[in-house]
Structure 1
């Protein structure tokens, strides 16, 4: 056996104690460097190579002890403060679906089996979230341009051959109709984070190119009439621009100009606003602090399980339940915003900031609609509203956030907590 193989065996034995395999390469490099430095120091005192290797290993200490210490230092952390509100809000959403299916006068929902389907979506969503947590999000960066191209292509298909269901554009994929505009903001975050993480907004040519790249999907979404998705996408673009160090003037100018078209179109939705407002005013006006009755009248509106789930919660479970659920969502958004500040990777920081923008915009728009202050529909309450595509995307996004948190210090080299021991 070669003498240097003793180093390899030592490092292999040490790494067996470290469960986070992502740091193995860094630790192997640093330990190997330490051992060879100690070996050279020992040989300079006149020791033979074999004696120097043995002394270097002795000074490094027992592989089992050092391995356990490094395992403790480099554990892959789970951000419990992000995970708990997601799971709690999801359980509350599932509870609401249970009452809608089994204890509601809204008999039309019985055929939808909203609880049964939601249970399946939630279980699949949690599995995806935990899988993405284990996944190294940085792998996505090299596919950013492909995400962007695919998003533009599918939006074009939605515009050209999409069908409308209740005035919402859907893309027929053969076995199902998919509301692609609803999930577009999430895809744009993944695409833009990779494209703009090292973008030079001070370069005039690149500045105009960046604005063009961001404007294309917004124009396509606006063409479909999905105004809520358009507004959310504009907010995402503004957040990405600001975080990637565009000037405040560039960001504000882009956001204001991009918002002109959807704002103009919203003026034509006043008839919808009166319907929404009358429904929410009536139901909220009948609500108690603790809750009145687990009933809802089907003649008012058909989207109580999706767009107006918050109104139903206020009416049926009371203001206390609604405020608690909203507080959990707000804490989740606040938590990921705080996490973004601790992320070393520019790509990770941009990715988590964009997702925070999506959740914030989605939450605010859905809240305004449920309070009768906005005519926009088609905006689900995060983790609570019924629906498969948006719920799975939200769970996957939460998994990405957990993955980013797990690797938030990745730009820094792996440091050893147990240095070479003295003689």
Structure 2
């Protein structure tokens, strides 16, 4: 039951930052998608519907004390696995990937909800292991716990979301008190092994569990024009994105005025590369303002995690913060050409029903912990 007095704890800066990002996101989405469909407001209207559904879900999450989620740890984990496994059996395929389940009225993408579910289930899992994550052996089980949904997501294939799960795992392990030096060694070792594996693949034919286009994207960002097709292959997205952002200057060319966006040179402008639209049409100054809003939201999440009344609440918020931070960092990085293109959307901006619903539910978890940071005394 939801107590009215809990509203006294509401973090208005966090809520205000989220509302501002959603509003600006709709404006940018309108400009990015105006020439994609006959109805220039087609994607904006659909995105608004998903936001409204997301708000309903957020309120539903708020109405339940987050501590009750501990009782549904195992069912949620099993549900997560079943949804991801169902994609391989009855999944809808598009653009060379099988990531969706066609529900008739909606293409459900289970991997988006898998991130939020993983935050909940991993929080329950790590909450029981406080003070027991100090050596290599202690970390094996948490990695195996996340490995099951991660492997199922990789098979879709969806490298970006799989990397998000790893970011969630590392972030939540840190919040739970795991040895940070050990985590840093594992992260560094993972990067080294990835680099060596890619080198062995391209020079000696070492087989890797990734599609060829995914592996080329992991290296082509170093020189987009050296993609084997003179910049018209995997490097095309990065080149057009850099042109768009670079042409925006200090103040941008104006909404609906960007040549790269409006003339459809920029691929996936309303989804993965919507930050490029921000750079071209709003310019550097306003882009920095939007990044500052994201920083505000992330900062308030960290603050909420620090004020949580228990480790379980801190883990929930820490997981959501890790997820959002990784999404923002990688999306901005790939659109500016300093990171590989992995298809990770920009939270609250990129078009996508499943992503919006999942993000709103995740934000509901953060607010849930925020409102219940103090025990109610009668």
Q: What TM-score do the two structures reach when normalised by structure 2?
A: 0.81
Shift of 1:374: 2.8
Shift of 1:355: 0.5
| 1:186 alignment counterpart | 116
Cα distance in 2, alignment partners of residues 161 and 375 from structure 1: 30
| 1:172 alignment counterpart | 101
Distance 1:249 1:286, change over 3 A: closer
| 2:203 alignment counterpart | none
| 1:268 alignment counterpart | 216
Cα distance in 2, alignment partners of residues 75 and 305 from structure 1: 35
Does the CA contact (< 8 Å) of 2:301 and 2:321 recur in 1? yes
Cα distance in 1, alignment partners of residues 293 and 172 from structure 2: 25
| 1:139 alignment counterpart | 68
Cα distance in 2, alignment partners of residues 123 and 267 from structure 1: 38
Secondary structure at the aligned position of 1:404 is classed as: helix
Secondary structure at the aligned position of 2:349 is classed as: coil
1:24-74 Cα shifts (integer Å, max 9, x gaps) = xxxxxxxxxxxxxxxxxxxxxxxxxxxxxxxxxxxxxxxxxxxxxxx6xx7
Secondary structure at the aligned position of 1:277 is classed as: helix
| 1:340 alignment counterpart | 305
Mapping of residues 187-336 of structure 1, within 5 Å: 187-199=117-129, 200-201=132-133, 207-252=139-184, 254-255=186-187, 260=193, 264=198, 265=210, 267-269=215-217, 270=220, 271=227, 273-293=234-254, 294-295=256-257, 296-336=261-301
Structure 2 gaps, min length 5:
199-209, 221-226, 228-232
| 2:77 alignment counterpart | 148
Distance 1:160 1:121, change over 3 A: closer
Shift of 1:331: 1.0
Does the CA contact (< 8 Å) of 2:30 and 2:40 recur in 1? no
Cα distance in 2, alignment partners of residues 299 and 204 from structure 1: 50
Shift of 1:254: 4.8
Shift of 1:160: 4.6
Mapping of residues 72-91 of structure 1, within 5 Å: 76-91=8-23
Shift of 1:112: 7.5
RMSD: 2.8
Cα distance in 2, alignment partners of residues 374 and 207 from structure 1: 28
Greater RCO, 1 or 2 (C-alpha within 8 Å, sep 6+): 2
Does the CA contact (< 8 Å) of 1:239 and 1:357 recur in 2? yes
Structure 1 residue 357 and structure 2 residue 354: aligned? Answer: no
| 2:57 alignment counterpart | 128
Q: How many residues align?
A: 342
Secondary structure at the aligned position of 2:149 is classed as: helix
Structure 1 residue 380 and structure 2 residue 309: aligned? Answer: no
Does the CA contact (< 8 Å) of 2:32 and 2:269 recur in 1? no
Cα distance in 1, alignment partners of residues 189 and 361 from structure 2: 31
1:164-208 Cα shifts (integer Å, max 9, x gaps) = 312343232442432222332222101101121121335987653
Shift of 1:85: 0.5
Structure 1 gaps, min length 5:
1-18, 23-70, 417-423
Secondary structure at the aligned position of 1:318 is classed as: helix
Larger Rg: 1 or 2? 1
Cα distance in 2, alignment partners of residues 161 and 190 from structure 1: 26
Say which is worse superposed, 353-362 or 392-401, in terms of deviation: 392-401
1:385-410 Cα shifts (integer Å, max 9, x gaps) = 11111111111211211110111123
1:73-102 Cα shifts (integer Å, max 9, x gaps) = x7642210110000001001111233345x
Say which is worse superposed, 386-395 or 348-357, in terms of deviation: 386-395
Distance 1:164 1:254, change over 3 A: farther
Does the CA contact (< 8 Å) of 1:107 and 1:298 recur in 2? no
Does the CA contact (< 8 Å) of 1:157 and 1:171 recur in 2? no
Does the CA contact (< 8 Å) of 2:47 and 2:351 recur in 1? yes
Distance 1:150 1:134, change over 3 A: closer
